[in-house]
Structure 1
């Protein structure tokens, strides 16, 4: 009997649905929320309302596109956390109602674990164990992945996430929202050694990015006092230099993790893994150090339901389901299941 799972993702500002059939992702429908652009960041209440508007159309499209009927579904998977509480409530409430109406088992998924499991949507797939650097707007973590559902955080940021550092720098430079991708594009045109920004060194395998955000702010204030057109004239060099420092911080800890655990199977996941500078730097490093590196396709790096579907598939195989009274968790840790 074919196992078809409907998956729903609504952790932040992407409304997404996907159908996976016997472990093969059939589609990945995403509705992007443009309402946040004029505010320069995600507004939680507006995100929740947009999810309410988009959810039924994307679910309908995912099921129709898969060429199946609702009666052929075997389970419903959804993002339980981490994420914005209101956004999680919208997706979770729909998933529970949908599963209840069709008498289907419900599967709760950890959003960050799903980012890691996005590597198993298509080839090439990493071998266990591997180390995954998960980088997004809200998280920066090093994760030891022993199996599909056996993960341990071995290092994480003690303050801001690297994605936030990218976005805040972009905002200071007057770049459009979301700023990270625009900064990345400009960085390709600039000199990464033009300006020297601090590379913090935390103990063990942890990260800190609050210092570089402050350093960039003071740097720009000083330069603009001297020359009102400084940012306009040197924007690409500033972007390249900040990106160089941020990537250096990530790779220093990644190299240390590989050496500590003796594992050369290395992956990156999360929205920031779409960054061209990080991808290129990791490619060069892997060739020099003999790592096997895995990076998902761009559409599976940012928030999407295909990765939720993949995680739900592995839980379904193990018979891991959740009750209908399950509550969303705005903060949900990798490897800890409640």
Structure 2
């Protein structure tokens, strides 16, 4: 398939879980991708009362937010819907109802405008998001994808050229943060709260396990760490409040050490000299600090998305669509619905990233 070489204005819509993101990215014609407009609404306050994401409430809120956010992005960019060349949306993985909102709005908008649409893999969006940063990477590289639901190490040789090196066999790193925070009574969302509290604690105060640290493979497991935190909470009893910061610091240190050690091992085994870190946990300050130090010692370049692009967002969806188009990975008939006159769509709540490999 021939690549799309013309400059393109791509609207990206992200609605896979509890954040509604819309963004406008300009890409193509050999130019560096540019983020022209970006708007995001987080549902944290709404879900906090329930201690976690309520899928039905998430879907309903996406319906309320997506069009106002689109209008805000177009105002930021100083352009109109008619100027759009493509409309991209998150096809999966994620919550089925939430995905259907973004997909439905994107395809309805595209039908009204007579524009082509493209469904994007959420994790590919995260994987490629550092290409919008001030220090974009170059292929090939090792990618550490760390988010609330995913922890994976990938070898990335180009757009659509992904090899899974290791992944979590139970809880992801983000889940370990959130579940441990809940055990400590830190509320929702737990991960950021635990990281803030950890700054006041002594990471050496508790000897917590580092699951699979010496397993010889690149897989992850964090369920045992959560159990160890629960055990300590029960042992402390009424003394927990006084030791909470120390336990938070020890928990964060355990998670970060595993992520750093496995990432460096992946680099050694592949022989690659570049690491990309993406996903919400990639914003963790201790993780960035320790990865920076480890990569500096090894003479490896490390790249992160900008902090405001670490969480789910529309910019990564628009960018991933543009990069797939530039790489010639999108069949015209599958993307340009005008060809067949149909804007029918589906979503993939479960969608392995490996299926995208070219």
Question: Which bracket does the TM-score occupy, shorter chain normalised?
Answer: over 0.9
Say if 2:29 is the partner of 1:16. no
Matched with 1:30 is 40
Gaps of 5+ in 1: none
Deviation at 1:64, TM superposition (A): 2.2
Matched with 2:345 is 326
Tell me the matched-pair count: 334
Give the Cα–Cα distance (whole angstroms) in 2 for the partners of residues 231 and 297 of structure 1.
Answer: 36
Say if 2:20 is the partner of 1:7. no
Question: Residue 5 of structure 1: SS of its match in structure 2?
Answer: strand
Matched with 1:210 is 223
CA RMSD of aligned residues (A): 1.5
Structure 1 counterpart of 2:321, from 297, 304, 312: 312
Matched with 2:176 is 165
Alignment deviations for residues 206-251 of structure 1 (CA, whole Å, 9 cap, x no partner): 1111111111111211221xxx1x2210111111101111111112
Matched with 2:355 is 336
Question: Residue 4 of structure 1: SS of its match in structure 2?
Answer: strand
Deviation at 1:61, TM superposition (A): 1.1
Deviation at 1:117, TM superposition (A): 0.7
Question: Residue 90 of structure 2: SS of its match in structure 1?
Answer: strand
> Relative to structure 2, which stretch is displaced further, 171-180 or 312-321?
312-321
CA contact (8 A) 1:12 1:83 kept: yes
Compute the TM-score of the two structures, normalised by the length of structure 2: 0.90
Matched with 1:300 is 309
Alignment deviations for residues 272-318 of structure 1 (CA, whole Å, 9 cap, x no partner): 00111111111111122211111111111011111111101112322
CA contact (8 A) 1:113 1:334 kept: yes
Give the Cα–Cα distance (whole angstroms) in 2 for the partners of residues 169 and 140 of structure 1.
Answer: 17
Matched with 2:191 is 180
Give the Cα–Cα distance (whole angstroms) in 2 for the partners of residues 331 and 32 of structure 1.
Answer: 22
Question: Residue 90 of structure 1: SS of its match in structure 2?
Answer: helix
Matched with 1:122 is 133
Give the Cα–Cα distance (whole angstroms) in 1 for the partners of residues 260 and 23 of structure 2.
Answer: 33
Give the Cα–Cα distance (whole angstroms) in 2 for the partners of residues 269 and 138 of structure 1.
Answer: 13
Runs of 4+ in 1 over 2 A off after TM superposition: 315-319, 321-326
Question: Residue 345 of structure 2: SS of its match in structure 1?
Answer: coil
Say if 2:149 is the partner of 1:138. yes
Gaps of 5+ in 2: 1-5, 28-32, 338-342
Deviation at 1:47, TM superposition (A): 0.4
Deviation at 1:161, TM superposition (A): 0.6
Superposed, 1:207-246 pairs within 5 Å as: 207-224=220-237, 228=238, 230-246=239-255
Say if 2:121 is the partner of 1:110. yes
Matched with 1:148 is 159
Deviation at 1:2, TM superposition (A): 4.5
Deviation at 1:108, TM superposition (A): 1.1
